[in-house]
Amino acid sequence: MPLVSMRQLLDEAAKGGYGVGAFNVNDMEQIQAIMMAAKETKSPVIVQASRGARQFAEDLYLFKLIQAAAELNPEIPIAMHQDHGNSFETCKSAIELGYTSVMMDGSLKEDGKTPSTFDENVAVTKKVVDYAHERGVTVEGEIGVLGGVEDSGLEHITDPDQAVEFAERTGVDALAIAIGTSHGAYKFNKKPDGSVLKMDVLIAIHKRLPNTHLVMHGSSSVPKDLQDIVNKYGGKLKETWGVPVEEIQLGIRNGVRKVNVDTDNRLAITGAIRKVLWETPEKFDPRDYMKPAREAMKKVVALRMTQFGQASHASDYSPIPITEIAKGYKDGTLTTHPLVAAK
């Protein structure tokens, strides 16, 4: 099966009422772990690469590895996604390489640190949408700033009215919103509840934008058992909490179709490697520790696929060629401007 459109993948998820995990990759073993999990659970999947991953692995290496995953697993629908594109040029380069989906994170300026204005975000995201849709490529936008409520304050939480305006003006296929999650392991210093994780905002946005695919970033759950394995074998992780799976499932019931997971997989890999090197310090063959590391990540991914509801849905549909997706955008078959419900 060729790489498929993320728009098709998310549309099917909406029909089925489930979410789809989007898992970050940097190397071959991570890609293999994701595909092992997808095959085991019969799940469609989004494989995504950040700007840092593209630089680390070199673009062509990473792209060819994901192409190989598609060829070796023809029964699994795979969308290849650029995570957190910081500029039109970043997204354009991914599209030219063959990515079937891109995220334009216009919530920040090109430095990836400075918050942009709403109009700046709209302008650059709309530019990416126009370029991408002409080529059948899905676009995810972002409004609000990730970082965690505890650190950044409520001014960074997505405003539902602005979410509606942003979706209408840009025509994005998917919208990442800020509800208090953050990237990395250290998200919360206590188990998150309604005071730090604003699920009410997510629900309000879904009510206003019932046909817009919502995205949860920073959604690793950072399980204590994975933290404990790292620390047992020489690590020094501080106690921390991630996003509870039940909160993600609440999001899925309220319009979330794409769920980004990275940290959980990093913890699984690191713990497995530490265990091998701690217990058998004479080992030096990378295969001796990368094989259990790959298996540990596979288990986490397979669990998340089951928890998000995407398991057993790989064979529900046949992929629509990207050229046909492009025609759908052009003739309006694939709507990009949302149905907006009243307040």
Whether 130 is a known active-site residue: answer: no
State the Cα–Cα distance between residues 276 and 285, nearest whole angstrom: 11
CA distances from 121 to 167, 174, 184, 240 (A): 11, 15, 24, 32
| Residues 6 or more apart in contact with residue 285 via CB below 8 angstroms | none
Length of the chain: 343
The catalytic residue among 11, 83, 173, 262 is 83
Q: Which SS3 state, helix, strand or coil, does residue 100 take?
A: coil
- Angle at CA 105, nearest 5°, toward 70 and 318? 30
Residue 224, sorted as left (phi over 0), alpha (psi -120 to 50) or beta, turns out to be: alpha
Contact 79, 43 (CB under 8 A): no
What CA–CA distance (Å, rounded) separates 327 from 156?
A: 37
Say whether 241 sits in a helix, a strand or coil. Answer: strand
The set of catalytic residues is 83
